Chains A and B, each alone.
Chain A
Amino acid sequence: DGGITQSPKYLFRKEGQNVTLSCEQNLNHDAMYWYRQDPGQGLRLIYYSQIVNDFQKGDIAEGYSVSREKKESFPLTVTSAQKNPTAFYLCASSMGTSGANVLTFGAGSRLTVL
């Protein structure tokens, strides 16, 4: 059953801590993305990767970092430099990055800063 798996679903972080959100896909997609969703706002792009060992900043990359060591995996680290990290984080993938490609999303990870 192909899809995208995000973990953990819920995560609590103390201020000053880094946390890493996992995203794994078995769709054989080349492109992967991280979005942030806040209430009343549209999804905002954090980082995306078109190919292994390469990634690009999105609109709100400050305070976040990513890696793409394997095609299937695209973990997101929320660092202590991110001043307002409480949000719902969505990972997505697509065959390519042209405008015609449809994104497949994971179920999301909700991060709460205590």
Chain B
Amino acid sequence: KNQVEQSPQSLIILEGKNCTLQCNYTVSPFSNLRWYKQDTGRGPVSLTIMTFSENTKSNGRYTATLDADTKQSSLHITASQLSDSASYICVVSAGSSNTGKLIFGQGTTLQVKP
């Protein structure tokens, strides 16, 4: 069964600190892995997208890694800001024929406190 599991479920950190969010997946065939940021009451916004051959990709203070052998990905946030408070969703695309095969994780809720 295609699944995407994220951990932790929620996280609280102090402003300025770093944090790492985890994503484990069992999706076949693998096409790509995306990280989205979703502010409360808003739609998700794409942060990064990585294919099988990419093992790291950065977007400002966000750095995503992908280990296709162990089927794990992480999202590292550097020097957190209050605006980073949001839900972070890992999404894996299964195959290339149909975007309807996107498998969504349940998300990690991050709260950054001053």
Segment of B42-50, B60-68, B74-82 in the binding face: B42-50
**Taking A41-B106, A45-B100, A97-B99 as contacts, is the C-beta distance between A102 and B49 under 8 angstroms?**
yes
Residue contact A42 to B96, C-beta cutoff 8 Å: no
Tally of A interface residues using CB under 8 Å: 30
B72 interface contact, C-beta 8 A: no
Please indicate the chain A residues that have their CB under 8 angstroms from the CB of B34 in the complex. 102
Q: For this complex, into which size category does the number of interface residues on chain B fall?
A: 20 to 34
> Is B89 within 8 A of A99, CB to CB?
no
Query: Which residues of chain B are within 8 angstroms of A58 by Cβ–Cβ distance?
Result: 100
Contact B46 A102 (CB under 8 A): yes
Evaluate contact between A99 and B105: CB separation under 8 angstroms. Answer: no
Partner of A97, one of B9, B41, B98, B107: B98
- Contact partner, A99, options B45, B97, B106, Cβ 8 Å: B97
In the complex, per-residue mask of A34-55: 1 if CB is within 8 Å of any chain B CB, else 0? 0000001111110010000000
- The 8 A CB mask of B88-114 against A (1 = contact, 0 = none) is 010001111111111111110000000
A42–B99 CB distance below 8 A? no
Within 8 A of B (CB), among A84-105: 90, 92, 94, 96-105
Q: List 20 A-B contacts (CB under 8 A).
A: A40-B106, A42-B89, A42-B104, A42-B107, A45-B102, A58-B100, A92-B43, A98-B98, A99-B98, A99-B99, A100-B96, A101-B99, A102-B34, A102-B46, A103-B46, A106-B43, A107-B41, A108-B41, A108-B43, A110-B41
